Structure 1
């Protein structure tokens, strides 16, 4: 079946049903060591995961690791430019759940990004990036512990689809000419806009299907959280890009108020209901005035529209959401992208799950990671309906490779996400507790040690893994 891979002699395949994994007690899990510092951080991670599983389940469960190749290590095995061999793709397709270290982005033509390629090949449409603070971790913020968010980033659309043409490309020039001479002038709202003839251009597709399946994952996650954390915020730039990012917001609300009608309430709906709860006799007009600043300056037609919206909410969901019942629902709201970058710093405890498109999610997840200690402490997962890959979120840092000094926290915490995804929460909790205890006792790698006050003597990468295991109780 495989050209250069050796499948474990023991273990059972993971399968998926209805988008959920069915995990045996002895799963075979493919792993990609990763390039650069992957040579250090993967062995440390494997040691910690194995120790946690052994401790939590006393030998009743065990991961059978299956080494596969990607990046520079794949080229060593399969030949020049074989960054993503078919063997590896077959293994991930067959065994469904995989974990990987950081990968080199190939230089030159061909694959633009191995990470993006894996997401697109396996339709891993939900990039999940939690940002949680572990006490003792150096941070540039005064109160990093207030941030505890999970970012759901749409993984397969937006500009990351990679449909673009460079300046002077004949096809790009042809498309610019068509847009300038026929398509743009035919749309009244575009006025006399024109695309410069010397421009590179790209396509930004945002689909209803892609948007709603991403928001669905986010809401499903919210339903598993404690009541006080059951909130989903749709992040977008819909005030400018109305038919792409604005549509993402609208489709997210549509999903929440149809498929999850019993479990969700929108922010505006909560205002309307709470106004009626405070004053049972409030008129539609008075309620509309409270939820819409500047109501009295609006046209009669717009005022009527807002009153109709109020009436519709009261008629449709008062029985199921009124009298305080809305407070037990998942709150769905939305925020403009540039505003949320500010608010995760100034009002971080107001947010729980952020659902966003590809580019905004890329920026936002790294910004959130910086607050809680950087990418070295930031895990990630790419999840679809039939496969999931868990990954380190940082680069390969080749100058540190083989020195046994880099922080393995990102791939290790990605392992925690993997264990939770598999339903092995007990082992996941052990790792989180061990990691938290090691950091609290200043037993950390150099990247954290040098920022602590006072500075502490750093542990090697392997020693950090040993310290985490020593705290397992």
Structure 2
């Protein structure tokens, strides 16, 4: 397998990648951001079905990747997005796609989403071309609420959305399947800063909050979120990526004190 995450997705089928972002540090370019992206996690280009084609004596003269979209996969992630939106008080779902060009694969994803939307008359829905969606997320992110899209588009736009609220250090994620779930910070392991004490643990802690919500411990998750809000808003103990000089340990100690 290409990575541990790919191996996990193959083995346990966590088809919905849940990536919420919310403004935590005031004074940035955007205030009051509260967005949710649901990314299909098991299909599309990111599954890595690709190969070389040889020609004119060059075995690697060309490379091809296969985008796999199934009606089953598209339908279940779109249904999950609508159900998650309903359960979490969100009013609109935007399906972002490239069906104007990729008429078969992206067209099938869009078709499945339209059919699912009919089962949720209480949730507004729209579809948008993916490139226009990226532009409007930068121009006016408040026009969106929840978004759903295929694997690679979701991978790209979820990082863009993290940038709206200060970076990957604030971005949690959950990988949800029928019988299994895994929660992780979006930023990965960041080996380039290992041992330096400069990592922002907020994304990892918020991922733990998503896990607590998932297992019915919402009250505990809410306490942790409140502690994070209190420490950041107080402004005295913030990590380097928040514009201050606190180490990872100092920031974490402040969170522990806020929870006490």
Q: Give the whole-Å Cα distance in 2 for the aligned partners of 1:412 and 1:220.
A: 24
On the 8 A contact 1:232/1:330 being kept in 2, the answer is yes
* Residue from 328, 334, 347 that aligns with 2:127: 334
On the 8 A contact 2:240/2:246 being kept in 1, the answer is yes
Partner of 1:123: 13
Following superposition, the deviation at residue 401 of structure 1 comes to: 1.5
Cα RMSD after superposing both structures: 1.8
Following superposition, the deviation at residue 333 of structure 1 comes to: 1.1
* Residue from 61, 66, 80 that aligns with 1:203: 66
Q: Write the mapping of 1:45-124 to structure 2, written as runs, cut at 5 A.
A: 111-124=1-14
Following superposition, the deviation at residue 135 of structure 1 comes to: 3.6
Partner of 1:381: 174
Partner of 1:397: 190
Q: Which runs of 4+ in 1 moved over 3 A?
A: none
Q: Give the whole-Å Cα distance in 2 for the aligned partners of 1:395 and 1:231.
A: 29
Superposed CA deviations along residues 195-243 of structure 1, whole A, max 9, x for unmatched, are xx932111111110000100111011111133xx311111100110111
Following superposition, the deviation at residue 164 of structure 1 comes to: 0.9
Q: Structure 2 stretches of 5 or more lacking a match? A: none
On the 8 A contact 1:144/1:371 being kept in 2, the answer is no
**Equivalent residues, number:** 256
Instruction: Kindly indicate which of the two structures has a greater share of residues assigned to strand.
Output: 2
Superposed CA deviations along residues 262-285 of structure 1, whole A, max 9, x for unmatched, are x32xxxxxxxxxxxxxxxxxxxxx
Q: Write the mapping of 1:173-322 to structure 2, written as runs, cut at 5 A.
A: 198-226=61-89, 229-257=90-118, 260=119, 263-264=120-121
Partner of 2:41: 155
* 1:441–1:360 distance in 2 versus 1, CA, 3 Å: same
Q: Give the whole-Å Cα distance in 2 for the aligned partners of 1:116 and 1:129.
A: 17
Partner of 1:469: 256
Following superposition, the deviation at residue 144 of structure 1 comes to: 3.5
On the 8 A contact 2:199/2:248 being kept in 1, the answer is yes
* Residue from 193, 201, 204 that aligns with 1:411: 204
On the 8 A contact 2:93/2:123 being kept in 1, the answer is yes
Superposed CA deviations along residues 99-143 of structure 1, whole A, max 9, x for unmatched, are xxxxxxxxxxxx21221221221101111110111143x64x2x2
Following superposition, the deviation at residue 470 of structure 1 comes to: 2.1
Instruction: Work out whether 1:431 is the aligned partner of 2:224.
Output: yes
Superposed CA deviations along residues 26-66 of structure 1, whole A, max 9, x for unmatched, are xxxxxxxxxxxxxxxxxxxxxxxxxxxxxxxxxxxxxxxxx
SS of corresponding position for 2:259:
coil
Following superposition, the deviation at residue 250 of structure 1 comes to: 1.1
Question: Whose RCO is larger (CA < 8 A, sep 6+)?
Answer: 1
Instruction: Work out whether 1:165 is the aligned partner of 2:51.
Output: yes
Following superposition, the deviation at residue 386 of structure 1 comes to: 0.6
SS of corresponding position for 1:471:
helix
Q: Give the whole-Å Cα distance in 2 for the aligned partners of 1:465 and 1:133.
A: 19
Q: Structure 1 stretches of 5 or more lacking a match? A: 1-110, 174-196, 265-328, 450-455
Partner of 1:372: 165
* 1:135–1:447 distance in 2 versus 1, CA, 3 Å: closer
SS of corresponding position for 2:227:
helix
Following superposition, the deviation at residue 339 of structure 1 comes to: 0.7
Structure with higher Rg: it is: 1
TM-score of the pair, normalised by structure 1? 0.52
Q: Give the whole-Å Cα distance in 2 for the aligned partners of 1:233 and 1:398.
A: 35
Partner of 1:444: 238
Following superposition, the deviation at residue 403 of structure 1 comes to: 2.8
On the 8 A contact 2:25/2:165 being kept in 1, the answer is no
TM-score of the pair, normalised by structure 2? 0.93
Following superposition, the deviation at residue 436 of structure 1 comes to: 1.0
SS of corresponding position for 1:386:
coil
Superposed CA deviations along residues 134-155 of structure 1, whole A, max 9, x for unmatched, are 143x64x2x242x311111001
On the 8 A contact 1:165/1:201 being kept in 2, the answer is yes
Q: Give the whole-Å Cα distance in 2 for the aligned partners of 1:115 and 1:417.
A: 18
